[in-house]
Structure 1
Amino acid sequence: MRFGVTYAALLLNAAFTMEVFLLTKNLLVLLIMLPVHGICMLLCARDARYFDLLLMWAKTRLLAYFSSIRFWKGASYSPLLLDLPDRHGRRKAIATVRLS
């Protein structure tokens, strides 16, 4: 850890700030790094592996999500309709299982 954040958070902060700097061509934009670093410090204080888990999620689930959209033209792996519970936790239909 450096300056209260992990290396992944530090690199993410630096990359984001440099991208904004290159787009705006204004040196004052580099001051964005301070509040972004503060937010990263708060996230790392809550869970030190937050950015590592975020990168792992992006490498696994996010890539699978986008490849599913490209292949199936939708974000779901299953063509089945889901009967999700409402805000009270109740399902709309009673689940039935057929045994053959």
Structure 2
Amino acid sequence: MSDTRIIFRQILPNCVALIVVASSVLVATAIIIEASLFFLGLGDPNATSWGTMIGAARPSLRTAWYMTLVPSAAVIATVLALNLIGDALNDALNPTRKER
């Protein structure tokens, strides 16, 4: 077997699932980090972000707690969806987990 054939037939199919799962977790982590930085006020003040929306509602948290509910739920739902999609793709693409 040639080296190219070994790479494409043996190594690459076993790595695809790992790459997909790692990238979905990295994107979810990036969303959380971005929202956290914008919540702390370290992002661009002119950019719209879920973290900016949560941070803007911080002063009125005791009286209007629902203003933080929608952006917080959006962050949680997006991160959860990305993790579930990554897990489902891992189940579908991982050759070692397939039933024989």
What TM-score, normalized to structure 2?
A: 0.30
Q: Which has the larger radius of gyration?
A: 1
Bigger helix share: 2
Q: Bigger relative contact order, structure 1 or 2, given CA contacts below 8 A and separation 6+?
A: 2
What TM-score, normalized to structure 1?
A: 0.30
